[in-house]
Structure 1
């Protein structure tokens, strides 16, 4: 494959992008480095870079500076999580190679896609290429790229290049999640409540919403002066309005100022809250979000997760053996694997490290740090 005067084998593109993003300390830096490396090969005109919850594939933020206009984001997320469309993230996640081209997924009839009809065609874009960034521990983000009508179509070479990004960038983004978990800052801001109408327009917002959402919008690459909400908010709101969906849905996203935050949406029934149709609460993430993301980011197996949880509760090897119905030797094998994956050497070190990396930042001022315990 030759682009812009340089030659590079397809298999090298993902590795080069991962190396370029290795020193990134934020999602924006990560995706900026990735775009710089892959643009010559993929030649996109727009590119939205998003992070996703590995448990749910819900949008949790990202970098939209080279993406679609912010005003179109509510409609985009409504299609993604409520209406459904070809080439969506859940479709990609089910494939051995999670790469999709909208024109191929619609057999050349792009007008079958509401995303094309309502967003791409009015803006003058001919096609959409998506790649889900995942490793063996889960999906961590995605690249959504578009080409304008006056550009050549995406071809087999671009699809092969996109496929080469899946594993190396998925792995690199998971590691960045670990860094962000460790560096999350405390937040004392009271929860915020926003009510949205059927078109996801704000009907009412409590005073603290501006504090939460202005920061979250900035973290997503949306200018702080823009009155729109972050994409993750529209996503969770659309999820509860989907046909057959549960009346409530919980997701999370990352904020520079507040660390991990929980987004909880409820579907409101008429006529009690007319014209509001959806309520979304934003608040600091709790222990459930901590442990779920820690387990996924470190790549722990279900059994290793169970053992780690019991260790964090102070249970002995004998207790864990009885609870899990396995031999003490098997418990020790699982525990050794947990140590290897989390980079510690003892139970006490495991407890102290997880607390310092993932819980203390949300509980104490950044200046406070615990004294390191001696090893067992």
Structure 2
């Protein structure tokens, strides 16, 4: 890997380039290209993840791993694998990276050596990466694992910044929920027109073919697989090519006598409850700051917010100032326009200046 000073210089240069990336796809591309100069690998998988559920989402970059079917098999193995090498376990581990030698012969395995890393900011995972080495190459060494681990937090922070609202509104005639039905073997058996519309808005990426005339993105297939595992949350949010957010959530049905039934996957526009974590994490809002921001979006005054939360108006104003600084706005109107342009939270106009419990009067708007 070179001298310590050279390794530090490469890491600094790599993160500087990553900071200039304008979107997640570019972030993955430029980071992978430069990482290959430091940590040798023959194939790679880079994917954004849902920060709340940990499931993979768009965008996803696959290098030299084969077609969509191989990629689907890779993620099927990830969902069903109960070992400590699974991304969901790595996300909770103290170290952000791990490596292992594969002993199986699955077609998706580009090599026997795999290095895995989670891109983690605080308690949330915003992305995952796998690097593969072909058979015959040396295992990933401690220095290489340490180098990749050092990229985890800064790359996660950059991914988190891309999750901020894009300032676009849902069309008033947007279609309703889309439905995709899977049989007990995981084969897609039916799809409605609304689902076809939503699927067409997903970013390009690895996908699996079906007999329905549509290809299903890997994040859709993974959510459907997740629904078959007891105790798992099968919900993932996806940013569309036009800047909106959709949520995919799947549920496994049961038949007579408890027999396994089909899996139903729903694709629909993200609602307030779906986006609260995304908005809060993207702007690094605390739970209290998010709560106050939601009340501002509903039109409540400082006094009303104080009364609702049983805190002083002064404390409310301090929280609002902190929110303004994080979101980089200077007024409530700017805040609502910036965070809720996609109508994640309904807004209402106050017309009754009802005094709050702490004596604040409605109608007067202060930070």
TM-score scaled by structure 1?
0.80
Partner of 1:85: 83
Q: 1:174 to 1:15 in 2, by over 3 A?
A: farther
In 2, the alpha carbon distance for the partners of 1:62 and 1:92 equals 21
CA displacement 1:237-274 (0-9 Å, x = unmatched): 1222113457xx432112214631111211121259x9
Deviates more, 1:61-70 or 1:306-315: 61-70
Q: Give the Å deviation of 1:353.
A: 2.5
Partner of 1:371: none
The equivalent position to 2:281 in structure 1, one of 266, 282, 296, is 296
The equivalent position to 1:259 in structure 2, one of 244, 249, 263, is 244
Greater RCO, 1 or 2 (C-alpha within 8 Å, sep 6+): 1
Instruction: Confirm or deny that 1:29 pairs with 2:26.
Output: yes
Partner of 1:106: none
SS in 2 for 1:198: coil
The equivalent position to 1:200 in structure 2, one of 181, 186, 189, is 186
- In the TM superposition, what are the counterparts of 1:28-47 in structure 2 within 5 Å? 28-47=25-44
The equivalent position to 1:319 in structure 2, one of 304, 327, 338, is 304
The equivalent position to 1:182 in structure 2, one of 136, 151, 166, is 166
SS in 2 for 1:167: helix
Instruction: Confirm or deny that 1:133 pairs with 2:119.
Output: yes
Q: Give the Å deviation of 1:19.
A: 2.1
In 2, the alpha carbon distance for the partners of 1:161 and 1:13 equals 10
CA contact under 8 A between 1:261 and 1:283: conserved in structure 2?
yes
Q: 1:134 to 1:244 in 2, by over 3 A?
A: closer
CA displacement 1:16-53 (0-9 Å, x = unmatched): 33322333333222211111111111211111111111
In 1, the alpha carbon distance for the partners of 2:83 and 2:247 equals 26
CA contact under 8 A between 1:260 and 1:284: conserved in structure 2?
yes
Q: Give the Å deviation of 1:222.
A: 4.6
Q: 1:277 to 1:73 in 2, by over 3 A?
A: farther
CA contact under 8 A between 1:64 and 1:222: conserved in structure 2?
no
CA contact under 8 A between 2:28 and 2:61: conserved in structure 1?
no
Q: Give the Å deviation of 1:154.
A: 0.7
CA contact under 8 A between 1:128 and 1:145: conserved in structure 2?
yes
Instruction: Confirm or deny that 1:209 pairs with 2:195.
Output: yes
CA contact under 8 A between 1:17 and 1:169: conserved in structure 2?
no
CA contact under 8 A between 2:252 and 2:261: conserved in structure 1?
no
Partner of 1:96: 94
SS in 1 for 2:224: helix
In 1, the alpha carbon distance for the partners of 2:113 and 2:281 equals 33
In 1, the alpha carbon distance for the partners of 2:343 and 2:8 equals 39
In 2, the alpha carbon distance for the partners of 1:303 and 1:133 equals 25
Q: 1:227 to 1:67 in 2, by over 3 A?
A: farther
Q: Give the Å deviation of 1:158.
A: 0.9
Note the residue ranges of structure 2 that are not aligned, 5 or more in a row: 345-365
CA contact under 8 A between 1:203 and 1:276: conserved in structure 2?
no
Note the residue ranges of structure 1 that are not aligned, 5 or more in a row: 104-109, 361-374
SS in 2 for 1:264: strand
CA displacement 1:214-236 (0-9 Å, x = unmatched): 443x5225599995421211221
Instruction: Confirm or deny that 1:354 pairs with 2:335.
Output: no
TM-score scaled by structure 2?
0.82
Corresponding pairs, count: 342
Which structure: larger Rg? Answer: 2
In 1, the alpha carbon distance for the partners of 2:140 and 2:123 equals 29
Partner of 1:278: 263
Partner of 1:243: 230
CA contact under 8 A between 1:194 and 1:280: conserved in structure 2?
yes
CA contact under 8 A between 2:120 and 2:126: conserved in structure 1?
yes
